Amino acid sequence: MIIRDYNHRDETGWVRCRALAFLQTAYFDNVLTKKEHYQNPSIELVAEHDGQIVGLIDVEYAEEQTVCSRGEGLGGMIWHIAVHPDFYRQGIGQQLLVAAENRAKKLGLNRLEAWTRNDLWVQKWYKRMQFNIVDSYYHVYFEEDELHPNYKSSIPDLYLVNTFAHYVGKNIEQFKDNKRIYECVCFEKFIFLPLNNS
């Protein structure tokens, strides 16, 4: 297994690996058909085994809060990290992260940020990789039978059927009967300590 830079010829393998990895998670239907590309500079690595893409990590980075939701200086957002399910728990995720962190340190990044839903095993992985939870809000899905009569489109002849929403308030209990509701959690890891902590 080798970790190397993403190459445009990897796109099909990247898309397949990501889709299969996320099938086991609360993001199971968040399927991309093309590799995402970024406005800002990025670190894009893949893990390759016998010619197959078995893991991937994408980190976009920028100053201040351009891509990260918090912090000062150069910070990186992990938009995608995924390991093919046939290769879970073999250290590939950790190796991808370490490789990305080494690049990030050389580039002068001081921290990494990642958002994930409440898949406890994925959160366990982030905690084991020394990330800390620093924020959260909710992802709420409304299927047709869950849409309250007040949830209306103001566009004539347009009727909401299924809806996805972000909820940042305190009264999440009001949606407790929805079938799909997730806490979306922000993980942060300092790869260089901020000055006031050193």
Ligand X SMILES: CC(C)(COP(=O)(O)OP(=O)(O)OC[C@H]1O[C@@H](n2cnc3c(N)ncnc32)[C@H](O)[C@@H]1OP(=O)(O)O)[C@@H](O)C(=O)NCCC(=O)NCCS
- List residues binding ligand X (CB under 6 A): 21-22, 25, 81-83, 88-94, 114, 116, 119, 121-122, 124-125, 128
* CA–CA separation, 126 and 55 (whole Å): 16
- Taking the complex as a whole, the smallest distance from the CB of residue 32 to ligand X amounts, in Å, to 13
Name the residue nearer to ligand X (CB basis): 59 or 109.
59
Residue 182, beta-bridge partner list: 139
Tell me how far, at minimum, the Cβ of 36 lies from ligand X, in Å: 12
**Residue 14 or 125 having the CB closest to ligand X:** 125
Cα 69 from chain centre: 13
- The distance of closest approach from Cβ of residue 166 to ligand X in the complex, given in angstroms and rounded to an integer, is 17
**What distance in Å separates the CA atoms of residue 14 and residue 45, rounded to the nearest whole number?**
10
**78 and 59 Cβ atoms separated by less than 8 Å:** yes
Scanning the structure block, which residue is given the tokens 């980190």? 59
Pick the closer one to ligand X by CB: 16 or 152.
16
Instruction: Return the closest-CA partner of residue 16 out of 108, 79, 66, 84.
Output: 84
Residue sitting closest to ligand X (CB): 93
For residues 167 and 136, give the distance between their C-alpha atoms in angstroms, rounded to a whole number.
10
Judged by CB, which is closer to ligand X: 36, or 146? 36
Considering the complex, state which of residue 26 and residue 142 has its C-beta at the smaller distance from ligand X: 26
Report the nearest approach of ligand X to the CB of residue 138 (Å). 17
Min separation Cβ 54 and ligand X, Å:
9
Handedness of CA 62, 66, 71, 73 (dihedral sign): positive
User: How many Å is the Cα radius of gyration of the chain?
Assistant: 19
